[in-house]
Amino acid sequence: MRLPFRATLFVSILALAAAGSLSYTLIHAPSFSPETLSVFLIFVILAVLAEVYATWVPAYKWEISSSIAIYLTALFILGPDLAIAVVFLSTLLSELLLRWRSRKREWISSIIPITFNVSQLVVTITVAGLLLRAFGHSNLLLTAPQEFISAIGAFFAFFVTNITFVMAIISLSSGQPFWHSVFRGVRQFFVQYLVLCASALLLTVLYSISLGHMFLALFPLTLVHISFRSYMKLQTEARKTFEKISQLLDARDHYTAVHSTEVADLAVQIGHELGLSPGEIERIEIAAKVHDIGKVAVPDSILLKPGPLSDEEWRVMKTHPVISAELIEGLEIYSAVADAVRHEHERWDGSGYPDGLKGEEIPLLARVIAAADIYNALTTDRPYRKRFSDEEAIRVIRRIRGKDIDPDVADALLRVLQARLRKEEDPGT
């Protein structure tokens, strides 16, 4: 996907800033001992491994890497100049290695992502290093209270700068409001970064005793990382299995071949617009992608009927959300979304099914998915009617706001749709 001009300009400015930081480092880098060189190389290797084996967390749509703990440890122990070199070498090597391992190996299209990832981390560690120097330290061994204050200050500088850069590129690429993206990023990732900072402080304190003590601490940290990564991988694979089943069910009807995926994408956008938490947004996406899995029990003669359903056929069709919920509720990864799946066809005025819930009796996640589902149904061709245009569908949403759809959710949906239309009219922004 081609980045908007302003996003490309932002990456270019970051690259120039990173190049300036690296040039200054090369010119003013102090001489160092063989032991320092050994520690430097160890940090580069550890950071590369941490980046290559980062953990994908679906809740945040982000890979969490323990490399940040390595970068901060390098900053505290080796000082800003060598820490900048550690970040540059390890990030560049890991980016190249990850793309080499990828089957596609699309090097040209990877230039901008690689440039951004390397540049923003180089500038981020530079900012943290400048703050460290402002406190009067070139490096830290954390043997005095004031050194801990300096380390915490450098951490906050790293965190704020890193989050700002990442959310800026997301905002410039997607059109999401910048400050909304930044505040959401701070809420989502502060605890994770704080844990990584604590790990960096621990490694630095142990290094002040001996290099061997620091290495001993790496073993339990590595085991925790491997266990967490394995757990998240199993969760992701289980989710993909059910999502694949749902996609196969969608494929029974070529009119709705990508229905579940499109509903999930729109529901997630509505969730962001409502300011929901990362966990709630993850649950919305999980539920939306399998919300129709119960249609496996609906015969093709009903599901694919090119016309209105009879009362008996409609009774059978109405069982699918209950079946969907029953299929997934026994699985840990879906236990929190079974209610949302069951009640996705409820309506704000109580006219929906299967339980006739109304208003706030309906789970919020179900209300969000319902709005996305209704809009997707309106804008999809069916055997018995042509799709509504976007403008026609928006008029329908306004008409059924407060009747079929939660008014607040409907308003959020309309804002998402209006932003999408503006972007389509002016794709360069």
Q: How remote is the C-alpha of 330 from its chain's centroid? A: 26
Cα(276)–Cα(408) distance, integer angstroms: 13
Whether residue 385 sits in one domain with residue 264: yes
Distance from C-alpha of 79 to C-alpha of 272, rounded to nearest angstrom = 39
- Is the per-residue pLDDT at 392 higher than 90? yes
CB 377 within 8 A of CB 387: no
pLDDT of residue 292: 86
Count: domains in the chain: 2
Position 409 pLDDT exceeds 90:
yes
DSSP string for residues in 274-295: TT--HHHHHHHHHHHHTTTGGG
Distance in angstroms (rounded) separating the CA atoms of residues 392 and 275: 27
Range of the domain at 246: 236-425
Q: How confident is the model at residue 41 (pLDDT cuts 50, 70, 90)?
A: very high
- Model pLDDT, residue 190: 83
162 and 301 together in one domain:
no
State residue 182's pLDDT score.
77
The C-alpha atoms of residue 236 and residue 233 are separated, in whole angstroms, by: 5
Q: Is the per-residue pLDDT at 257 higher than 60?
A: no
- Are 82 and 192 in a shared domain? yes
pLDDT band at 231 (very low <50, low <70, confident <90, very high): low
Q: Say if 225 falls within a structural domain.
A: no
Burial of residue 155, with CB atoms counted within 10 A of its CB: 0-12 exposed, 13-18 middle, 19 or more buried:
buried
253 with 192, same domain: the answer is no
Q: Are residues 121 and 183 in the same domain?
A: yes
> What pLDDT does 17 receive?
97
Does pLDDT of 405 surpass 90?
A: yes
- 329 domain residue, yes or no: yes
Please report, for residues 58, 86, 238, 283, the alpha-carbon distance to residue 333 in angstroms, rounded to integers and kept in the order given. Answer: 11, 38, 8, 9
Is the peptide bond prior to 354 cis by the omega test (within 30 degrees of 0)? Answer: yes
Give yes or no: residues 267 and 389 share one domain.
yes
pLDDT band at 376 (very low <50, low <70, confident <90, very high): very high
In which element (H, E) is residue 55 found?
strand 55-57
* End position of a domain, from candidates 193, 209, 225: 209
Q: Between the CA of residue 13 and those of 20, 52, 123, 149, what are the distances in Å?
A: 11, 26, 11, 31
- Above 80 in pLDDT, residue 127? yes
Separation between Cα atoms, residue 341 and residue 324, nearest integer Å: 7
Q: Considering the entire predicted model, what is its pTM?
A: 0.64
Give Dmax over CA atoms of the chain in angstroms: 84
Determine if residue 275 is left, alpha or beta; phi over 0 gives left, psi from -120 to 50 gives alpha, anything else beta: left
Q: What is the pLDDT of residues 155-203, one digit of tens each?
A: 999 999 999 998 888 888 877 677 777 776 777 678 878 888 888 888 8
Task: Report whether pLDDT(402) > 90.
Answer: yes
Q: What is the CATH number of the domain that holds 247?
A: 1.10.3210.10
Mark whether 386 and 308 lie in a shared domain. yes
Which pLDDT tens digit goes with each residue over 7-24?
899 999 999 999 999 999
- Same domain as 184, residue 74: yes
Q: Is the same domain home to 171 and 273? A: no
As a whole number of angstroms, the distance between CA 284 and CA 101 comes to 32
Residue 67 has pLDDT above 70, yes or no: yes
Question: Does residue 229 belong to any structural domain of this protein?
Answer: no
Residues 261 and 343 in one domain: yes
Tell me the CATH number at 192. 1.10.1760.20
Task: Give 269-312 pLDDT, tens digit per residue.
Answer: 999 899 888 778 888 988 998 888 888 888 888 887 877 888 99
